[in-house]
């Protein structure tokens, strides 16, 4: 995200203080602008997609919610499943919001820079691999996550294969322009006349699994959604 801009965190903090009809405008290099109600990031368990609900049900032990945002996932785990939950996010506004909502253990830092505790479950939802920016950085992310796992620990993450966005030939072959991986996107956000763009990765299960294997992690497909999205569980191979 652009330097000195915490657009996402500002939107979360504004809604927390004065809940109204605020919207976060998003777009990518493949898709047009879309308006997301900020209240969506404050949803309860019964309002979450099935993939997120399943991921939360699979969480065990001490949990690190990576990219915790407003803290909705962590708060559910803490209050309903009585798990010890830490939230980490590079957005100061997100961390302030999550803490004020009751997530007591929070870290305002990129997970790439985090050193310290280890965990039984690492939770990366709402396209968790996106934080590495590009496919070439995915192995590095997985190596970092592996270093934060306790013995027998797990990584739970979701993402999507964007292949469905592309047209296909009469023979059924997808028409994909350019040479770069089609899931390497530029992601944009705008709120209150401030905007920023940053690299953001969407990755299919097979490519994700290959990167995980190179980092010494075994990938298991837990659940598939309706729009080429999936939930995966990663565990240490060695």
Q: How many domains does the chain have?
A: 1
- Whether 2 maps to a domain, the answer reads no
Query: If pLDDT is split at 50, 70 and 90, which confidence band does 172 have?
Result: low
- pLDDT tens for 130-142 read 999 999 999 999 9
149, exposed or middle or buried, with CB in 10 Å at 0-12, 13-18, 19+?
Answer: buried
171 or 115, greater pLDDT: 115
1 lies in some domain:
no
Q: Which two tokens stand for residue 220?
A: 């298991």
Average pLDDT of every residue of the chain: 93
Here the CATH number for the domain that contains residue 107 is 3.40.50.150
236: Cβ contacts below 8 Å, ≥ 6 apart = 146, 149, 151, 153, 216, 217, 218
Give CA–CA dist 203/188, Å, rounded.
Answer: 18
Domain assignment of residue 44, given as a range: 7-166+173-236
Taking residue 56's Cβ as centre, other Cβ atoms within 10 Å add up to 23
Q: What is the pLDDT of residue 176?
A: 63
Q: What is the pLDDT of residues 29-80, one digit of tens each?
A: 989 999 999 999 999 999 999 999 999 999 999 999 999 999 999 999 999 9
- Whether 116 is covered by a domain: the verdict is yes
**Burial (Cβ within 10 Å: 0-12, 13-18, ≥19) of residue 225:** middle
Predicted confidence (pLDDT) per residue in 144-161, tens digit: 999 999 999 999 999 999
């Amino acid at each position: 995200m652009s330097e000195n801009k915490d657009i996402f965190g500002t939107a979360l903090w504004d809604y927390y203080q004065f809940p109204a009809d605020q919207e976060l405008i998003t777009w990518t290099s493949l898709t047009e602008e879309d308006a997301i109600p900020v209240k969506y990031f404050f949803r309860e368990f019964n309002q979450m997609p099935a993939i997120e609900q399943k991921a939360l049900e699979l969480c065990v032990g001490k949990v690190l919610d990576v990219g915790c945002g407003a803290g909705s996932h962590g708060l559910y785990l803490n209050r309903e499943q009585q798990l010890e939950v830490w939230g980490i996010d590079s957005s100061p506004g997100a961390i302030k919001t999550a803490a004020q909502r009751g997530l007591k253990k929070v870290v305002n830092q990129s997970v790439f820079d985090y050193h310290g505790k280890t965990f039984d479950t690492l939770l990366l939802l709402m396209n968790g691999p996106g934080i590495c920016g590009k496919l070439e950085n995915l192995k590095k992310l997985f190596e970092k996550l592996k270093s934060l796992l306790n013995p027998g620990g797990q990584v739970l993450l979701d993402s999507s294969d964007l292949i469905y966005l592309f047209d296909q030939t009469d023979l059924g072959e997808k028409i994909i322009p350019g040479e770069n991986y089609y899931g390497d996107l530029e992601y944009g956000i705008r709120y209150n006349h401030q905007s920023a763009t940053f690299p953001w990765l969407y990755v299919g299960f097979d490519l994700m699994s290959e990167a995980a294997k190179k980092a010494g992690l075994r990938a298991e497909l837990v659940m598939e959604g309706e729009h080429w999205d999936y939930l995966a569980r990663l565990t240490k191979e060695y």
